[in-house]
Amino acid sequence: MLSATVALGAVVALLALYVYKSVRTYYALKAFGGHWSCGWSRLWMLRTQGSGQMNKIFTEINLKYGSTARIAPKFLVTSDPELFRRMSAVRSPFTRGPWYAALKLHPERDNITSYVDEGKHAEIRNRMAPGYSGKENLHLEQDVDEQLTKFLALVESKYVAKPEQEIYKTVDLSRITSYFTLDVISKVAFGQTFGFLDKDEDPFGYLENLAQMLPAIIVFGVYTELTKLLKMPAMKAALPKSTDKRGLGRVMGFARDRVQERFGPKAVRRQDMLDSFIKRGMSQEELESETLTQITAGSDSTASALRMTLHFVCTSPPILERLLAEVNSAIETGKISRPIITDAQARQLPYLQACIKEGLRIYPPVTGVMAKQVPPTGAMIEVDGVEKFAPPGTQIGWNSWGMMHDQEIFGADAEIYRPERWLVRDGGEEEEEEVQRVQRMNETVTLCFGYGRFGCLGRGVATMELNKAVIETLLRFNLQSCNLAKPFNEKVVGFYVHTDMNFVITARKQEGEKAGFSQLRGGIVDAGALAGAPEE
Ligand code: HEM
C-alpha cells in the first residue's frame, strides 16, 4: 500500500515538473507570435517540414506574426536579413544550433556542415577554404567546361525533338540538370566523374536513395536529439556504408576509393581540391567524410538554381529575347569565347547576371532552416520595430523564401520573375536612390549562400556553373515546357525535389526563330481559319 502511494506521488511530482517546465518554456518566447500550438509542442513544425511546402508556410507565418516568429517551443524562424547577418557574422556570439547535427551523414564522423563545436568548425573550414578557390584548384574552370560540353552533347544527341521529321521527344529538365551538377562536383572534388552524363542515368541509385531518406531528414531536422540513436548498433547497420552496392553508400565507396588513390607509394597527383586538402594535413578519414558532404551540399542546390532559371527565362519570351540579344551582340563583337563562355566574360553581361540573380531570388536553393543558437546571455531581437527577448538556447532558423520574396526589399512584384529589377535605372535625381535600392537587393540575394563564418565555400563553383550553363544551353536550344498549367511537381524539404519537369527541346537556329518560320512558310498548305460565329 505504502509503495503504491510512493509510486503515485512520484508520478504526480513528475507530472507537475513536466507541466511547470512546459509552462515556463511557453512563456519564455510568448512575446513572439506564432501558431498557438508552437508554444507547447514541436508537432506543428514537424507537420510543416513534412508538408512539402515548408517555404511557403514559414513565409505565411512571418507575414502574419512578424519577421521573427515562433515555430516550436524553443524555436523561432526569421526572414529578417539583418538578424541573419548578425547571427552568422565572424565575431557573433550566436553559435550553430543543435539543428546542424542532423546534417551528419556518418554515424561517428562529423563534417564541416554538421560540427556544432565552433572551434572544430573554424579549424576544418580554415583548412578547406583554399581548396575551393581557383588559386589552388587549377583545373576548376576546365572541369566545369568539360562537363558542360558533355551535358550539351547529351541533349543534342538524345533529346532534340524534330517534329517536321516526326521525331517527338521530351526530357525531364530536373533529372538532367542534376546529372550535370553531380558530374561537375565529383570531377571537381575527386578528379573523376560519377558518370551520370556518360550513361544518362543514375549509376549509383543516388537520387533514388536520397528521395527514400527524405522522411528521416525531416524527422531529424525537428527532433535533433534522435540523431543520437544513430550510434545504436541496430541503427548503424541500417545506415549507408561505403561497402553498399547502391545509393549514398555507393557514393561513399566511390569517395573512399578516390581518396585512397591519393595516398601510398603510387599516389595519384593532381593540383585540385583534394590535393589542397591533403596539403593542409587532412586525414584519409576526414577526407572521405568531407568529400561526401561536398556532393550533397553542391549538387541539388546548383541544379535547382539552374533548372529554375532556365524554366523562368524560357517561359517569358521578352526576357529570353533580351538575354539572347545581349549575348549575341557580345559574340559579334568578339567579347565571348566559343564554344564555352568563360566565367570572367559571363560576369560582364549585366542582363545574364540579372537573370541568374533573379533565379536564385525567386527560388532560393536552400530552404533548410540552418538554425543558429542564442548565446548564454540571451539576445534582444527586433521584430518589426519592437525589441523582444530571446532566452539562451533558443534556436533561430532561416526562412530563405520569405527573405527573398520580401516586397519591401525587392518591390511590390517580388512574386514575379523580372530580371529588370536588378538593372539600375539611370539618369535623374533619383539615381543615388536607385543605386542603393539595387545594392540592398544584392546584399540580400547573396544571403542565399549563407553569410560570414558559415557562408557557402562552394559559391565560386556554383556561380561558375550557372554563368556558363544558363547561356550555353539557351544559345543552342529552344526549351518549351510541356505543361504550363503544371510545369513540375515539387516537394520542399530543405532543398527542392522536382520531378516531371518535362520540356520539348528543339535546336535554336543561328538566325534566331526567323529561320524556323521562313522554312515553315516555304512548304506550307493553308489549313484555313477557325469557323467564326455560328450562323443562326
Ligand atoms: C546555388 C548553389 C548553392 C547554394 C545556394 C548554396 C548555399 C549554401 C548555404 C545556405 C550554406 C549554409 C549556410 C549556413 O550554414 O548558414 C552552404 C554551405 C556550404 N556549401 Fe553551399 N551552396 C551552393 C553550392 C555549393 C557547391 C557547388 C558546393 C561545393 C562545391 C558547396 C559547398 C558548401 C560547403 C562546404 C558548405 C559548408 C560551409 C561551412 O559550414 O563552413 N555549396 N551553402
How many other C-beta atoms lie within 10 A of the C-beta of residue 514? 9
Average pLDDT over residues 121-148: 90
Mean residue pLDDT across the chain? 90
Residue where the block lists cell 507530472? 15
Return the residue whose CA atom lies nearest to atom 39 of ligand 1: 454
**46 CB-near residues (< 8 Å, 6+ apart):** 218, 219, 222, 223
**105 CB-near residues (< 8 Å, 6+ apart):** 111, 114, 240, 248, 289, 292, 293, 296
What are the tens digits of pLDDT across the range 315-335?
Answer: 999 999 999 999 999 999 999
Q: What is the DSSP letter of 57?
A: H
Return the residue whose CA atom lies nearest to atom 1 of ligand 1: 302
Q: What angle do CA 20, 24, 27 make, to 5 degrees?
A: 140
pLDDT band at residue 247 under the 50/70/90 scheme: confident
Instruction: Output the nine-digit C-alpha cell for 120.
Output: 572544430
Beta-bridge partner residues of 514: none
Q: Are 165 and 490 in contact (CB under 8 A)?
A: no
Average pLDDT over residues 497-507: 96
pLDDT band at residue 427 under the 50/70/90 scheme: low
* Residue type (1 letter), 438: V
Nearest ligand 1 atom to the CA of 368 is: 10
Pairwise CA distance, residues 15 & 133, whole Å: 56
CA distances from 228 to 27, 104, 248, 369, 460 (A): 29, 11, 20, 20, 34
Q: What angle do CA 512, 514, 515 make, to 5 degrees?
A: 85
| pLDDT at residue 26 greater than cutoff 50 | yes
Please report the pLDDT score of residue 179 as a whole number: 97
Pairwise CA distance, residues 213 & 208, whole Å: 9
Which among 211, 212, 230, 210 is positioned nearest to 220, based on CA atoms?
230
* 535: three-class secondary structure by DSSP: coil
Q: Are 171 and 501 in contact (CB under 8 A)?
A: no
Q: Is the ipTM of this complex over 0.85?
A: yes
At residue 186, what are phi and psi to the nearest 5 degrees?
A: -70, -40
* Residue type (1 letter), 408: E
Nearest ligand 1 atom to the CA of 398 is: 16
Which among 436, 439, 366 is positioned nearest to 403, based on CA atoms?
366
Instruction: Tell me which of 85-94, 174-183, 202-211, 319-328 is least confident.
Output: 202-211
Return the residue whose CA atom lies nearest to atom 20 of ligand 1: 456
What are the tens digits of pLDDT across the range 482-491?
Answer: 999 999 999 9
Return the residue whose CA atom lies nearest to atom 21 of ligand 1: 456
Calculate how far, in angstroms, residue 435's C-alpha sits from the geometric centre of ligand 1: 28
Is 456 annotated in a binding site? The answer is yes
**142 CB-near residues (< 8 Å, 6+ apart):** none
- Biggest alpha carbon distance in the chain? 102
- By most ligand atoms within 8 Å of CB, the mutation choice from 84, 273, 301, 307 for ligand 1 is 301
- By most ligand atoms within 8 Å of CB, the mutation choice from 100, 286, 456, 457 for ligand 1 is 456
Please report the pLDDT score of residue 325 as a whole number: 97
Which among 97, 204, 114, 195 is positioned nearest to 154, based on CA atoms?
195
Q: Which residues approach ligand 1 with their CB closer than 6 A?
A: 88, 112-113, 125, 185, 294, 297-298, 301-302, 305, 365-366, 370, 448-450, 454, 456-458, 461-462
At residue 381, what are phi and psi to the nearest 5 degrees?
A: -120, 125
Residue where the block lists cell 565552433? 118
- Dump the DSSP string for 325-338: HHHHHHHHTT-S-S
**Ranges of H-type helices in 108-246:** 118-132, 140-154, 173-190, 196-199, 206-212, 214-222, 233-238
Give Cα 330 distance to the centre of its chain.
30
**What stretch of H or E contains 279?**
helix 273-279
Q: Annotate 422-491 with three-state secondary structure.
A: HCCCCCCCCHHHHHHHHHHHHHHHHHHHCCHHHCCCCHHHHHHHHHHHHHHHHHHEEEEECCCCCCCEEE
pLDDT band at residue 527 under the 50/70/90 scheme: confident
How many other C-beta atoms lie within 10 A of the C-beta of residue 411? 13
Residue where the block lists cell 546584399? 443
Average pLDDT over residues 487-497: 93
| pLDDT at residue 299 greater than cutoff 70 | yes
pTM above 0.90, yes or no: yes
The hierarchical CATH code for the domain 30-518 is 1.10.630.10
Instruction: Output the nine-digit C-alpha cell for 46.
Output: 514537424
Nearest ligand 1 atom to the CA of 299 is: 27
pLDDT band at residue 404 under the 50/70/90 scheme: very high
